[in-house]
Amino acid sequence: MNLPRVWRAAILVSGGGTNALNLIRASRAGEIPAAVLAVLAHRADIPAVERCRAVGVEPIILPLPAGDASSDAIDAALQGVGAELVLLAGYLRHFRLGPWSGRTLNIHPALLPAFGGKGMFGDQVHAAVLRSGARESGCTVHIVDDQYDHGATIVQRRVPVLDSDTPQTLAARVQQEESAAFCEAIRLWALRQHPHA
């Protein structure tokens, strides 16, 4: 019996780092077929940076200008650590796929295609869900393409929207599903790369 391949992964972050920490933990526990080699952030002052340091992962800080110069720096950093799989875990900038086309996954805190697109992140997503009157929300993990929050869905997990919800309470409920969703998506993605492994 063949053992599953372990993919060399890098995580890109822009915020609190909850999903990054969950992925690092799952990687170390052997729960996903990915070894987290690096975390990349575009600012040193975001909570994710200190939280990753606290678990022994020193983030690579890339203070990036807008446009292709930022993409070139990201490409160089990813190539430098030998990344094969890129995980966008609350990453709020546009990611140029380049050599990682088909090998970049993103998590979004809503049931795409609803409540996605440029500018839709964090509490803005949850507030839009509440304004819409939707009775459920959740999270989506998808393969990244050249549009924000677009590309083939791998996993969705759903939660109810309660009459008493605020953006913050809905966010907390969605976040409880995100770790399992991202891990499941990585396992499914890896299986599709080598279905007979």
Catalytic residues: 108
What DSSP character marks residue 76? H
Q: Which amino acid is at 5?
A: R
DSSP string, 159-184: EEPPTT--HHHHHHHHHHHHHHHHHH
Cα–Cα separations (whole angstroms), residue 78 to 11, 60, 81, 87, 114: 10, 10, 5, 11, 31
The Cα 166–Cα 149 span in angstroms is 23
Choose among 168, 166, 107, 174: nearest CA to 136. 174
For the CA atoms of 26, 30, 181, 48, the dihedral, rounded to the nearest 10 degrees, stands at: 20
Q: How far apart are CA 104 and CA 145, in angstroms?
A: 8
How many angstroms separate the CA atoms of 130 and 51, rounded? 30
Q: For residues 28 and 7, what is the distance between their CA atoms, to the nearest angstrom?
A: 13
